[in-house]
Structure 1
Amino acid sequence: MATSPEHEYLSNAALRIMESASNSGLFGYTEGQRKLFDFSCDLKKDWSKVVVGQTLWKHDGDGIDKDVRTLLNERDVAAAVYIARHKSRLRSRFAEVTQSYLDTPMRDRLSRLRVFWVPADFSTTDEEVVASTYRALQEEITRDLLLQVTLGGLTPRDVIRFASSRRPGLPIAILSHIKANGHRSHKSTATALGQTSGPVGYETDRLFMTGFLESESLQGGVYRITASGLAMLDICSRLRDYLNGNLGEENKNAHLEYICSLLGIDYPSIPIDTPLIGEDVVHQLQNPTFLLLQHVAQADSEGSVDWPAPYFALPSN
């Protein structure tokens, strides 16, 4: 069945949004084989996560059954995206269909389903409507999909908790060490970092309590880095590039800036010549961005971090 211009635009927009976000250097992107889907892509770091999607525009509620079944039947995907026309009847039908899977073996796959509703009067003939719809989709897909799939579900609250540590640089150094070497004990980590056990133990336990580290024991002990911990390391590494003037042309990266803005990180507001360490620092204790950059600058000056390289976008197939 022939698709409408709106259907084609929305399917392609989803891919453009994810490819554009990959230019942040936080993950790579490759367009995938569509098979039964309207769009598909592979998001890459030191892992590979497939995102597939369907777009509902012209067909009515009966098509939702088939679309949802197709999305849920696909194995080994990180997220199944559904872009749909916003109508009360369609929303009700979507709820009915998804609820029907709650008592089936596929109930666990519902958690990977992401639905984005587009105004019913959307038309590709209206340039202003197209632009506003793209912006809305960009924010929703970045916040509700990409931050979950590629950045471990990182939130602005997580960033504040990380930045509020009173030992500049140490949380980054601990994450970097545990990523590379694992964690046997606070003493061994402290020795490797040239620190004393007390502060290292406190910060390590704090990283565990705030979700950047995980352990098989609820009391902690033997730690490993979580997906959000890896994401924080990646973001801090890109912020280091910013402080060193190496972020890109004119030291700018609009894609990274946009993702960081959704996490409450307004790094362009702190000029790179702002004193962050040493005697000339004018502390901004209520500014999470300043505190985070202070962590980055301190860790960089100590040379104790193996900074992750950026993940560049890969050519589409």
Structure 2
Amino acid sequence: MATSPEHEYLSNAALRIMESASNSGLFGYTEGQRKLFDFSCDLKKDWSKVVVGQTLWKHDGDGIDKDLRTLLNEQDVAAAVYIARHKSRLRARFAEVTQSYLDTPMRDRLSRLRVFWIPADFNTDDEKVVASTYKALQEEITRDLLLHVTLGGLTPRDVIRFASAKRPGLQIAILSYIKKNGHRSHKNTAGALGRRSTIVASETERLFMTGFLESESLQGGVYKITASGQAMLDICSRLRDYLNGKLGEGNKNAHLEYICGLLGIDYPSIPINTPLVGEDVIHQLQNPTFLLLQHVAQADSDGLVDWPAPYFALPSN
């Protein structure tokens, strides 16, 4: 059955938004085989996560049952995206169908479903409407999908908690060390980092309490890095590139800047010649971005971090 221009535009826009965001260097992107779906892609870091999606535009509520069944039946996907026309009867039908899955073995898969409602009067012939719709969809997909799938659900509050640590650079060094070597004891980690065991223990436990490290024990102990901890390492590495003038052409990366902006990291507001380490530092204790860049600069100066390289988009098969 032929699809409408709006249907085609929205399906392609979803892929374009995810591919564009991958230019931040925070994850890789490959367009996938669509098979039963309107769009599909593979997001890559040290792992590979598949995102599939359907778009509902011309059809009434009858198509929702089939679309959701197709999305939820697919195994081994990180997220199932549904882009749909915002109409009262469609939202009501969507609620009915999802409710019906709550009493089935499929209920656990509902958590991977991400729904984005598009204004019913969207028309590809209106350039202003197209531009505003794309901008709104970009923010929603980046905030509600990509930050969860590729950045471990990182939030602005997480960034503030990380940036507010009292010992500049040490949290980054601990995350890097545990990612590469694992964690056997505070003594071993402290020895590798050249710090006192009590200090490393305090910062490690803080990383555990704030969700950047995890442990099978509720009391901590043997730690490993979480998805949000890995995401913070990746972001700090890109911020290091910024401070070293190596972020890209003109030391700019609009895609990274956009994602960081959603996390409350306004790194362009801090010029790269701002003193961040040493006696000339003018502290900005109420500025999380300054504090985070100070952590990055100190960790870079200490030379104890194995900085993650940028991820790049890969050619589609």
Q: TM-score with structure 1 length normalisation?
A: 1.00
| Structure-2 residue corresponding to 1:181 | 181
Q: Counterparts of 1:93 and 1:286 in 2: how far apart (Å)?
A: 47
Q: Deviations over 1:97-135 (max 9, x none)?
A: 001000101111000000000000000000000000000
Q: Residues 154-183 of structure 1: CA distance to partner in whole angstroms, max 9, x if unpaired?
A: 000000000000100000000000000011
* Total equivalences in the alignment: 317
Q: CA RMSD in A?
A: 0.5
1:295 lines up with 2:299 in the alignment = no
CA drift of 1:252 comes to 0.3
What is the distance in 2 between the residues matched to 1:265 and 1:315? 30
Q: How does 1:186-265 map to 2 (within 5 A)?
A: 186-265=186-265
Q: Matches of 1:95 and 1:204 in 2, distance apart?
A: 43
SS at match of 2:105: coil
Are 1:14 and 2:14 an aligned pair? Answer: yes
1:136 counterpart letter in structure 2:
A
Shift of 1:46: 1.1
Aligned to 1:35: 35
Note the C-alpha offset of 1:316.
Answer: 3.1
SS of equivalent residue, structure 1 residue 175: helix
Q: Which runs of 5+ in 2 are unaligned?
A: none
CA distance in 1, matches of 2:142, 2:16: 12
Q: For residue 159 of structure 2, what is the aligned residue in structure 1?
A: 159
Return the alpha-carbon distance in structure 2 between the equivalents of residues 89 and 160 of structure 1.
41
Matches of 2:43 and 2:199, distance apart in 1: 37
One-letter amino acid of the structure 2 residue matched with residue 274 of structure 1: T
- 1:49 maps to which residue? 49
Offset at 1:48? 0.5
Matched, 1:270 2:247: no
Give the letter aligned to residue 69 of structure 2: R
- Residue identity matched to 2:7: H
- CA distance, structure 1, for counterparts of residue 222 and residue 316 of structure 2: 40
CA distance in 1, matches of 2:209, 2:97: 38
Q: Which residue of 2 aligns with 1:148?
A: 148
Identity %: 90
Alpha-carbon distance, 1:199 to partner: 1.1
User: Partner of 1:74 in structure 2?
Assistant: 74
The one-letter code of the counterpart of 2:5 is: P
1:120 is matched with 120
Confirm or deny that 1:286 pairs with 2:290: no
The normalised TM-score by structure 2 is 1.00
For 1:78-157, list aligned pairs within 5 A: 78-157=78-157
CA distance in 1, matches of 2:98, 2:229: 32
